[in-house]
Amino acid sequence: MTGLCGMMAWPLQDTSVEAAQIMLTEEQRELRDALRRFFADRSPAAEVRRLMETAEGHDPKVWAQMAGQLGLQGLAIAEEHGGAGFGMRELAVVFEEMGRAVVCSPFLATITAAAALEAGEGGHDLLPGIADGTTIATLAVAEEDGDWDPGAVSAAFADGVLRGTKSFVLDGHVADLVLVAARDADGVGVYAVEDAAALARSNLPTLDQTRKLARIGLDGVAARRVGGEDALRRALDVAAVALAAESLGGAQRTLDMTVEYAKVRHQFGRPIGSFQAIKHRCADMFVLVESARSAVLHAAAVADENPELLPAAAALAKAYCTDAYFHTAGEAIQLHGGIGFTWEHDAHLYFKRAQSSRQLFGSPDRYRERLAALAGLTGAGAAP
């Protein structure tokens, strides 16, 4: 607990982001409320359980509605590329609500890929398809060792084709467009594979069945360069903030679930929520959730207003929020008692999602190492 809260001290200072800028606006609150209603209807727990057993892992009809009715896929894509031109603060609202409902969707993968395309020097022609929901995209970085550091990439690009293997590719089994981190003579870059059928793809077993991962074979696959290492790092920072926001939503839901249960579960003739030990544990969960909220709002505001400071803000948000989610989800299971350990209870969906979120794009420890390096506390500029 001390370690988690202690992380909040350094990176939140001297960022030139006014406090008013990290508060939700009236429009953002309306977006949140609309999304909560939408996901309550389209992604109840029963539907989550159904979708996680399917090969696709998501509902194509809901994906189309997200694009056509709500415009979510193009929310933060520039207007000249077919999007709505909003920013990371609006996306954070979306991801928080998706995390709250444990939505099964390739949205995180697609938004990450879109961030790489927007930050790159080429590939802008691919953004309209993402914005209108006709293209599911993903970014393939990690390889067999599971390292998300761009410096660890060994896949190669030469003579117009890619060679190598990517692993732990988020929604890689259904992606229409795969952006691949690979090396050429000039260093690491991002390469677009538009003919996804040419890829050798296989599903990986996962602890969190609500989130699909794939292994992708690249040997001899045609691709084109759409960005350099800067675009790749920007996309990974955006993904870190998005995952932090999703974790915030899940942590809030596990807290709400636990408080509701503590009010109705009786022991010795009184609600268990009246016992001091239960009150203290719920209070600790609340502190974690609200601290995570501050980290997410801060990182989203930095992404929009001070992008040069995003690496530190993203590292803080990802490390803190995924750890906070894992802790609150574990506490939810413990405080629900025996029922919390059963497959029938929804607590396990959040616990497994929390554990997978900690590892996706790099573990909290790797992000803390990066944060320390950016603060000048270590010699090397560690990346996730």
Say what the pLDDT of residue 22 is. Answer: 57
**299 and 215 in one domain?**
no
Say what the pLDDT of residue 10 is. Answer: 39
| Residue 298 CB contacts under 8 Å (≥ 6 apart), including other chains | 12, 15, 17, 22, 313, 316, 317
> Does residue 118 lie within any of the structural domains?
no
Query: What range does the domain containing 162 cover?
Result: 137-228
> Does residue 120 lie within any of the structural domains?
no
**252 and 216 in one domain?**
no
CA distances from 303 to 87, 203, 310, 312, 363 (A): 8, 33, 6, 11, 21
318-369 pLDDT, tens digit each? 999 999 999 999 999 999 887 777 878 899 999 999 999 999 999 999 999 9
**306 and 336 in one domain?**
yes
User: Does residue 261 or residue 307 have the better pLDDT?
Assistant: 307
Query: Which of 160, 195, 228 is where one domain is finished?
Result: 228
**142 and 172 in one domain?**
yes
Structure tokens at 353: 């999602």
> Does residue 303 lie within any of the structural domains?
yes
57-100 pLDDT, tens digit each? 999 999 999 999 999 999 999 999 999 999 999 999 999 999 99
Q: Tell me the torsion sign for CA atoms 67, 191, 201, 148.
A: negative
Query: Which of 159, 194, 228 is where one domain is finished?
Result: 228
Q: What is the CA radius of gyration of the chain?
A: 20
Contact 303, 238 (CB under 8 A): yes
CATH code at 295? 1.20.140.10
Instruction: Please report which confidence band the pLDDT of residue 270 belongs to, taking 50, 70 and 90 as the band edges.
Output: confident
Q: How far apart are CA 187 and CA 249, in angstroms?
A: 37
Say what the pLDDT of residue 343 is. Answer: 79
User: Which of 51, 103, 26, 50 has the alpha carbon at shortest distance from 72?
Assistant: 103
Query: Which of 131, 162, 190 is where one domain is finished?
Result: 131
**85 and 157 in one domain?**
no
Q: Which amino acid is at 81?
A: H
User: Does residue 1 or residue 76 have the better pLDDT?
Assistant: 76
**310 and 238 in one domain?**
yes
When pLDDT is averaged across residues 2-18 and rounded to a whole number, the result is 43
Say what the pLDDT of residue 308 is. Answer: 96
Please give the mean pLDDT across all residues of the chain.
91
> Does residue 74 lie within any of the structural domains?
yes
Instruction: Please report which confidence band the pLDDT of residue 23 belongs to, taking 50, 70 and 90 as the band edges.
Output: confident
Structure tokens at 196: 């996804």
Say what the pLDDT of residue 19 is. Answer: 43
pTM score over 0.95: no
Paired with 156 in beta bridges are 163, 183
Half-sphere exposure of 166 (CA within 13 A, CB side): 33
Whether the predicted pLDDT of 8 surpasses 50: no
Q: Which amino acid is at 79?
A: E
Among all chains, which residue has been given the structure tokens 């067999």? 144
When pLDDT is averaged across residues 150-163 and rounded to a whole number, the result is 96
CATH code at 154? 2.40.110.10
**238 and 215 in one domain?**
no
Q: How far apart are CA 346 and CA 45, in angstroms?
A: 7
Whether the predicted pLDDT of 254 surpasses 90: yes
> Does residue 380 lie within any of the structural domains?
no
Q: How far apart are CA 142 and CA 217, in angstroms?
A: 12
> Does residue 153 lie within any of the structural domains?
yes
- Measured CA angle at 201 (ends 198, 203), to 5 deg: 165
> Does residue 114 lie within any of the structural domains?
no
Looking at the structure of the chain, the number of domains it has is: 3
Structure tokens at 43: 């992604």
* Poorest-pLDDT segment among 11-15, 153-157, 272-276, 300-304: 11-15
Q: How far apart are CA 314 and CA 384, in angstroms?
A: 11
Instruction: Please report which confidence band the pLDDT of residue 379 belongs to, taking 50, 70 and 90 as the band edges.
Output: low
